[in-house]
C-alpha cells in the first residue's frame, strides 16, 4: 500500500468524523429526568410532534379501532390517569389514545403522546394495573424522547458507514463487502442494540414511577412480565436484541421497586386525604 493510498483511505474517515462531530454539537440537548444528565436528540419537539401525529393518523386509518365497550373504557381510563402524572417531561404533549382490534400483543406511544394499544395485549395485562405497566412504559419512551435520540445515533452511525464505504471503494467487491459487513456488525452490536436496551430499561423505570404516581401498584409490572415470559417462550440472546430479556427486565424492576413503592404509598396517602376532604 503506497503512502498516497493510505491518505486516500484516511481522508474519507476523517471527513466523516468531522461531520459526526457537527451532527452531535448542532443537535438539541435534553435533560434525562432519571439521571439528571443531558443527552442529545436528532429531532426538534415540533418535528417529533408532526411525525408522531402523522404516524398515529396512518395507524388509526388503516386499522379497525374500537371506541365503545369495556376494553375501550379501560384503555381510556388508564391513559388518562397516567397522562395526569407525567409532569414537566410531557409539557406541550397533546395526549391521544386509540384501541386497535388486532390480536398482536403490542402497544406503543408515538412522539408527542399518541398512544396505540392492540387488543391482543389485554389478555396479558388482565387488570388496570397491568395495563398501566405497559402504557406507562410506552409513554415513558415518548417523554424521554427516545425516538429523537435514536435518530441522532442512527444518523451518526450512517455517516461513519458512508465514510468507510468511500475509504474502501477501490477494493474488489468481495473485500469491500467483508469489511463493511464487519464494520456494520460492530456498529449494530456495539452501539445500536445496547442503545436500544438502555432505552428499554429507562422506560421500565420511568414507567413504574408513572404508574405508582397514578395510584397503580407498581409490583404488577413484575407480574405482567412474568406472564409475558410464559407466553412468548424462548428469546434471542440479549446481545442480539434491542430489548432486555424478560428475566433481566424482571430483575431490574425488582431493583427499582423500593423507590416505586415509596411513590405509590405517597400517592395512596394523598388520594385518601383528598377523599376525606371531599366527604367533609
**pLDDT greater than 80 at residue 172:** no
Cα torsion 123, 134, 131, 264 to 10°: value is: 140
Q: Look at residue 135 in the predicted model and tell me its pLDDT.
A: 95
- Residue labelled with grid coordinates 394499544: 117
β-sheet bridge partners, residue 207: none
Catalytic choice (73, 89, 91, 138): 138
pLDDT range class, residue 2, cuts 50, 70, 90? very low
69 CA to centre of own chain: 29
pLDDT range class, residue 3, cuts 50, 70, 90? very low
Percentage of the chain modeled with pLDDT above 70: 79
Could you give the C-alpha distances from 93 to 31, 33, 34, 127, in angstroms and in order? Answer: 17, 17, 19, 26
pLDDT tens digits for range 244-253: 677 788 899 9
Residue 173: helix, strand or coil by DSSP?
helix
Per the model's pLDDT, the better-predicted residue between 235 and 167 turns out to be: 167
Q: Look at residue 232 in the predicted model and tell me its pLDDT.
A: 65
pLDDT tens digits for range 205-221: 999 999 999 999 999 99
**pLDDT greater than 90 at residue 80:** yes
Residues 58 and 198: their CA atoms lie apart, in Å, by: 28
**pLDDT greater than 60 at residue 236:** no
Residue 114: helix, strand or coil by DSSP?
strand
Please, are residues 128 and 71 in contact by the beta-carbon 8 Å criterion?
no
| Among 134, 30, 18, 147, residue whose Cα is nearest residue 89 | 30
**pLDDT greater than 60 at residue 170:** yes
Residues 123 and 48: their CA atoms lie apart, in Å, by: 31
Q: Look at residue 157 in the predicted model and tell me its pLDDT.
A: 78
CB contact set of 215 (below 8 Å; sequence gap of 6+): 81, 264, 267, 268, 271
CB contact set of 136 (below 8 Å; sequence gap of 6+): 82, 206, 207, 208, 209, 210, 211, 214, 216, 221
Could you give the C-alpha distances from 221 to 23, 28, 41, 82, in angstroms and in order? Answer: 37, 33, 28, 14
- Residue labelled with grid coordinates 377523599: 275
E strands within the chain? 28-31, 38-41, 65-66, 96-100, 107-110, 114-118
pLDDT range class, residue 168, cuts 50, 70, 90? low
CB contact set of 195 (below 8 Å; sequence gap of 6+): 149, 150, 153
Q: State the pTM of this model.
A: 0.77
Average pLDDT score over the chain: 82
Please, are residues 66 and 116 in contact by the beta-carbon 8 Å criterion?
no
pLDDT tens digits for range 29-76: 888 887 778 888 888 889 889 998 999 999 889 889 999 999 999 999
| Among 136, 34, 132, 46, residue whose Cα is nearest residue 92 | 46
Per the model's pLDDT, the better-predicted residue between 135 and 14 turns out to be: 135
Give burial (CB, 10 Å; 0-12/13-18/19+) of 50.
middle
Q: Is 200 a catalytic residue?
A: no
Amino acid at each position: 500500500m503506497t503512502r498516497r493510498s493510505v491518505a486516500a483511505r484516511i481522508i474519507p474517515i476523517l471527513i466523516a468524523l468531522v461531520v459526526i462531530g457537527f451532527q452531535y454539537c448542532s443537535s438539541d440537548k435534553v435533560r434525562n429526568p432519571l439521571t439528571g444528565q443531558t443527552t442529545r436528540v436528532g429531532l426538534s419537539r415540533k418535528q417529533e410532534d408532526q411525525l408522531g401525529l402523522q404516524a398515529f393518523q396512518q395507524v388509526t386509518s388503516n386499522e379497525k379501532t374500537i371506541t365503545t365497550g369495556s376494553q375501550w373504557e379501560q384503555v381510556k381510563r388508564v391513559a388518562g390517569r397516567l397522562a395526569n402524572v407525567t409532569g414537566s417531561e410531557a409539557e406541550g404533549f397533546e395526549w391521544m389514545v386509540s384501541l386497535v382490534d388486532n390480536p398482536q400483543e403490542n402497544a406503543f406511544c408515538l412522539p408527542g403522546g399518541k398512544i396505540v394499544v392492540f387488543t391482543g395485549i389485554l389478555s396479558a395485562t388482565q387488570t388496570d394495573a397491568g395495563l398501566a405497566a405497559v402504557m406507562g412504559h410506552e409513554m415513558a419512551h415518548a417523554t424521554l424522547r427516545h425516538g429523537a435520540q435514536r435518530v441522532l445515533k442512527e444518523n451518526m452511525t450512517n455517516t461513519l458507514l458512508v465514510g468507510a464505504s468511500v475509504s474502501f471503494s477501490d477494493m474488489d467487491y468481495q473485500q469491500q463487502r467483508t469489511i463493511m459487513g464487519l464494520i456494520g456488525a460492530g456498529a449494530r452490536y456495539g452501539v445500536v442494540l445496547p442503545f436500544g436496551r438502555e432505552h428499554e430499561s429507562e422506560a421500565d423505570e420511568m414507567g413504574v414511577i408513572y404508574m405508582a404516581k397514578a395510584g397503580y401498584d407498581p409490583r404488577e409490572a413484575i407480574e405482567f412480565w412474568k406472564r409475558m415470559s410464559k407466553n412468548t417462550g424462548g428469546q434471542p440472546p440479549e446481545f442480539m436484541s434491542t430489548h432486555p430479556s424478560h428475566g433481566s427486565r424482571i430483575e431490574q424492576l425488582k431493583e427499582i421497586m423500593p423507590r416505586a413503592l415509596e411513590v405509590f404509598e405517597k400517592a395512596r396517602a394523598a388520594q385518601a386525604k383528598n377523599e376525606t376532604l371531599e366527604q367533609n
